[in-house]
Amino acid sequence: MSTSTPQQPRATMKHVAALAGVGIKTVSRVINDEPNVTEATAERVWKAVRELDYQLDLQAGSLRRADGRTRTLGLLVGSVDNPFAGAIHRAVEDIAAARGVAVFASSMDDDAGRESEAVRAFLQRRVDGLILTTASDHPEYLSLLRDRGLPVVYVDREPLEADVDTVASDNRAGAAAATAHLIAHGHRRIALLTDRLDLVTARERRQGYLGAHAAAGVPVPEDLIVTGLHEATDAEGALARLLASDEPPTAAFSAQNLITIGALHALRAAGLSHSTALVGFDDVALADLMDPGVTVVAQDPQLIGKHAAERVFARLGGEVDEPVRTVVPVTLVQRGSGEIAPRGRV
């Protein structure tokens, strides 16, 4: 005969109040972020909440609160399996958790339709603010967000509308630095492997690549520009074809981390890892342990997420200043692959 452990009764606000040594009204004030509660009292209440695993009914609570807040944020990233997006997610959660706010996260896989569906799902959950990555220059839901008066911050990619808060890497400068680095090492046939040009990041990185050629007075090898790549397998096939052509590139700039992984596979398969230079945009796992190490333009997704979360909370706190565009610097990290000279040059 099997036995089961009796289920523990669900903690209530009364239990929290008893453990914290305060009244039920005080617990309610703390949970609903209302004034006239000392910091020490609030700390005791939150400690009791954690110890009892008290589950806040955020939706019901929002109806009781004067400001209608649910203590939740919506976060939309390009793809949850991309480490860059994961790092942003973690940074946002760290900032939100310190304020007792939960984060609902979703992935759109760079599909404008899924993006709109996710935003509407967030609105149905009555989130207090949104941190979004967009796949569109003109998201169709922007007017809806304006009507709601909901704080919104865009990360990594932003719509063309100028009246929104954004936090993004310096994509054009980073791509220019990567390309200029390869040109300085003697390369004149540098392949560009990049994402779809309807994505603002891909356009900016392409402009940086073109700008570096113009600044150095080096003709752009148009036959080596490949756009529309999104997955590692796409990039692997594209670079493999270029390497097998009559006039192959002596170097490649891969303008996205998954594209860099595909490029590495192509170079390894062709036996050209030590003779064809490579610089990637955004770091990849174990890049410093590869042979040669992978030279990259490193972004700072943790700082992007931190700035975005802080911006949302500033808006929630009542800030009404003009929208701010925060540009996070990037860093060229030299590890070996980007320092390979063209064959025949030392």
Q: Would you state the structure tokens that stand for residue 152, as one six-digit string?
A: 């919104």
Q: What is the Cα–Cα distance from 186 to 315, expressed in whole angstroms?
A: 49
In a domain, 25, yes or no: no
Question: Which is it for the CA torsion 305, 306, 311, 312, positive or negative?
Answer: positive
The answer on 228 and 116 residing in a single domain is: no
pLDDT of 137 reads 83
In a domain, 143, yes or no: yes
In a domain, 116, yes or no: yes
The answer on 198 and 126 residing in a single domain is: no
The answer on 202 and 295 residing in a single domain is: yes
The answer on 281 and 238 residing in a single domain is: yes
The answer on 185 and 295 residing in a single domain is: yes
The answer on 283 and 176 residing in a single domain is: yes
Q: What is the Cα–Cα distance from 255 to 6, expressed in whole angstroms?
A: 56
pLDDT of 56 reads 60
In a domain, 295, yes or no: yes
The answer on 153 and 143 residing in a single domain is: yes
Domain CATH number, residue 192 = 3.40.50.2300
In a domain, 280, yes or no: yes
The answer on 267 and 186 residing in a single domain is: yes
pLDDT of 188 reads 97
pLDDT of 64 reads 46
Q: Partners of 225 in the beta sheet?
A: 192
The answer on 313 and 242 residing in a single domain is: no
In a domain, 62, yes or no: no
Residue 94 · residue 117 · CB < 8 Å: no
Q: What is the mean pLDDT of each run of 10 residues along the chain (346 residues)?
A: 50 89 87 75 84 65 58 91 90 94 91 91 91 89 82 90 88 98 98 94 97 98 96 96 97 96 98 98 93 97 97 91 93 98 72
pLDDT of 67 reads 58
Q: What is the total count of domains within the chain? A: 2
Q: Is 215 helix (H, G, I), strand (E, B) or coil?
A: helix
In a domain, 51, yes or no: no
The answer on 307 and 289 residing in a single domain is: no
Domain range for 110 is: 72-169+301-328
In a domain, 35, yes or no: no
- Cβ burial, residue 25 (10 Å; 0-12/13-18/19+): exposed
pLDDT of 141 reads 86
The answer on 237 and 92 residing in a single domain is: no
pLDDT of 69 reads 80
pLDDT of 1 reads 42
Q: What is the Cα–Cα distance from 266 to 233, expressed in whole angstroms?
A: 9
Residues in Cβ contact with 325 at an 8 Å cutoff, skipping those fewer than 6 apart: 158, 165, 166, 167, 168
pLDDT of 55 reads 65
pLDDT of 81 reads 79
The answer on 230 and 116 residing in a single domain is: no
